[in-house]
Amino acid sequence: MQRLGIVGTSIHRAPVDLLSALTLPREQRQETLKALAERCGFEELVYIATCNRVEFVFQQREERPLRSARNRILDHFFSERADVSFQPENFYLLGGDEAARHLFSVAASLDSLVIGEAQILGQVKEAFAESRSVGLVGGELQRLFQSAFHVGKKVRRGTDIGARKVSIVNLARECLAELVASNPDVRVALVGSGEMTGKLAEALKGLGVKDLLFVNRTLAKAEPFADRWKGRAMSLADFLADPPRVDAVCTATAAPKAIFGRDEAERLMDAGAEARPFLFLDLAIPRDVSDEVACLAGVRLCHLGTLREMAQDNRRDRFRAADQAREIIDEEVERYHQHAMESALSPLVGDTQKLAREFAESGLETLLEGRLAHLSDEDKKAVRYWVLTKLVPNVLRLPVQSIARSADQEQVRGGGGAGGGVKVQGLRLAPPKC
């Protein structure tokens, strides 16, 4: 049983409709997370949602099986819904060190749709900040996520995992590049007003596309994009009712259901005078473009599932850097675990450490007032600093580290039993609260 855990799913395990159902609208996210934490008995909770994953990272108020936490989360989302199906294998359940290893891998972009994708670390930081702003982050998740951020930066600096600029936007750019190659005068509509819209506009400008149309439900939200990228702005209602000629639609909205069905797609294709290849690039969860659109002649539909297939080639190119990154993660998981063990063991030797420090301080002052009285005040200050700040704390930490290592070795040999702690030299130690 665990207190620290992760319940998650990703595009590698679950259908898109399940990911969509677990994706919280941003405007309701904070209130929903507070209600979820209360219902599920979570002392701390961080919700991570990216283009290909949804994860709940939590610290339970008391030790419970992780499958119980999973079931409570699913009850919260689906107790009144029967339109989404799922199986136990759609979810991964991770606790303790394995939860830490997974989060470190996510922050290092080893578990991304594209290995080495730079923006994932920023998304994890944003998720952490959002939960902290509503009081859902305490000491345990603070320590876990700060370690994850450290790992992400260390992997980025210490390996070539990010040397080749690859991201969801780059994969999308490949889809768009094929269309541009066949039609240099291509006209593209970008639907949405989020960060992805700006990234796609930048990619299209880099491909030499000059005619960009920015579409949004609220016209005022599309106009800044049009001003920045020298395009045009249009409301979604007008775009659907009387579409201008475009050759591609790139969409990344937060709409709760599909915007473009067969009828909308046919109107868009009929807006031109002649038949032509047409591209729908759908980067939204839930999907903005329904599957029936792909059945239309001349239409190519690319979505996150399509990009996942394209990403497989990129994964192979990054295996060597990924291996280096995993070595870094192994070291950081060991450091994280060691710190957790030491934190759990420190109260057992706290009084002894306090007495030892007082003894060291008393002995040092006697020495400085006696045989070392000839030292200058500056030298005495330096001696006090190195003895009391550097030497004594590290020496006092050694017994805790030694016991922690012995506990680990005993647990590896099977001496700890099922979650009941470990016995070291006649002393039974409870496992760390994680």
Both tokens of residue 112?
A: 């991304």
CA dist 251 and 289 (Å) reads 8
Cβ(65)–Cβ(1) below 8 Å: yes
- With a CB cutoff of 8 Å and minimum separation 6, the contacts of 61 are 3, 41, 42, 43
Please tell me which residue in 40, 51, 175, 302 is annotated as part of the active site. 51
Query: In 3-state terms, what secondary structure has residue 146?
Result: helix
- Report helix, strand and coil shares of the chain as percent, to nearest 5: 55, 15, 30
Beta bridge partners, 249, equal 189, 280
Asked about 40 being catalytic, the answer comes back as no
Return phi, psi of residue 6, to 5°.
Answer: -135, 130
Please spell the DSSP secondary structure of 208-248, one letter per residue: T--EEEEEESSHHHHHHHHHHHT-EEEEHHHHHHSPPP-SE
Q: What 3 state SS string does 257-299 have?
A: CCCECHHHHHHHHHCCCCCCCEEEEECCCCCCECHHHHHCCCE
Active-site positions read: 51
